[in-house]
C-alpha cells in the first residue's frame, strides 16, 4: 500500500508526459493526434551558417615588427629559412615580401605573418613603388585544358607554372629599387643571400633577431 501511494504521489508531483509535452494542463490543450509524428528528424545533419553580427570582417592585426623594409625570416613553404624584405601589409592581412629575386631567388609573394619572424634589420624601401600590387594581383587565372577527360586522367608529368610577362616586369622594377638600398648597406647582400638555420648548441628562446 505504501509503495503504490508513493508512486501516485511522484506522478502527481512530476506530471505525466503525454506526446512529448510535460504537465497535465499542457496535455489537455494539445491538439488531438492525427496519427503522424509531430516531430521531424532529418536523415542527415543540416549545416547552418553561423550568425555573425559583424557586417564587415576586418583584416587581422599586423604585428608591430612587420614594417616596410623589415628583413624577415620565412619559417614554412618552399622558401623556408630564407631572408626576405617586407614591402607592405595587404588588406587580407598577408605580407608582401620579396628576396630580392636576384639575390636569393624569392619572387614577389604573399606570406602569412604566423610563418615569418621579423628581425631588427631594416632596409630603406621608400623608393619602391608597390601601390599597384594587392591581393587581386595574385589571383589565379583559370585555364581550360583542351585535352578533355583523356588528358585529365593521363599520367603525364606536371606542367611547369608559366609566369606572365607582367609579373617579370614588376619583379625587375621592384628588385632594381631594392638592390640600390642593399648595395648602400655593407654586407647586406651576403646577409640576404644566406640561409637561416639552427645549430646543435643554439638556444632558440635566447636568440635575438
Within 13 Å and on the Cβ side, how many CA atoms surround 148?
Answer: 1
Percent of the chain with pLDDT over 90: 42
Render pLDDT for 151-191 as a digit per residue (tens, 0 to 9): 666 666 667 777 888 889 999 999 999 999 999 988 999 99
Q: Between 104 and 25, where is the model more confident?
A: 104
In angstroms, how far is CA 74 from the centroid of its own chain? 16
Least confident of 19-23, 59-63, 133-137: 19-23
Is the per-residue pLDDT at 21 higher than 50? no
In angstroms, how far is CA 133 from the centroid of its own chain? 19
Residue 95 — φ and ψ, nearest 5°? -100, 135
Is the per-residue pLDDT at 29 higher than 90? no
Amino acid at each position: 500500500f505504501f509503495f503504490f501511494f508513493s508512486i501516485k504521489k511522484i506522478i502527481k508531483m512530476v506530471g505525466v508526459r503525454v506526446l512529448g509535452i510535460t504537465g497535465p494542463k499542457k496535455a489537455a490543450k494539445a491538439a488531438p493526434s492525427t496519427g503522424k509524428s509531430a516531430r521531424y528528424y532529418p536523415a542527415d545533419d543540416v549545416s547552418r551558417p553561423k550568425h555573425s553580427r559583424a557586417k564587415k570582417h576586418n583584416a587581422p592585426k599586423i604585428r608591430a615588427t612587420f614594417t616596410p623594409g623589415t628583413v624577415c625570416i620565412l619559417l614554412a613553404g618552399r622558401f623556408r629559412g630564407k631572408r626576405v624584405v617586407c614591402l607592405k601589409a595587404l588588406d587580407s592581412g598577408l605580407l608582401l615580401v620579396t628576396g630580392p629575386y636576384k639575390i636569393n631567388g624569392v619572387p614577389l609573394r604573399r606570406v602569412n605573418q604566423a610563418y615569418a619572424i621579423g628581425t631588427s634589420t631594416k632596409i630603406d624601401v621608400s623608393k619602391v613603388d608597390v601601390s599597384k600590387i594587392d591581393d587581386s594581383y595574385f589571383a589565379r587565372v583559370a585555364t581550360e585544358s583542351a585535352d578533355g577527360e583523356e588528358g585529365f586522367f593521363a599520367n603525364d608529368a606536371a606542367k611547369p607554372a608559366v609566369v606572365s610577362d607582367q609579373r617579370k616586369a614588376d619583379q625587375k622594377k621592384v628588385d632594381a629599387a631594392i638592390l640600390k638600398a642593399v648595395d648602400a648597406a655593407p654586407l647586406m647582400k651576403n646577409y640576404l643571400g644566406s640561409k637561416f638555420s639552427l645549430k646543435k648548441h643554439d638556444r632558440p628562446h635566447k636568440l635575438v633577431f
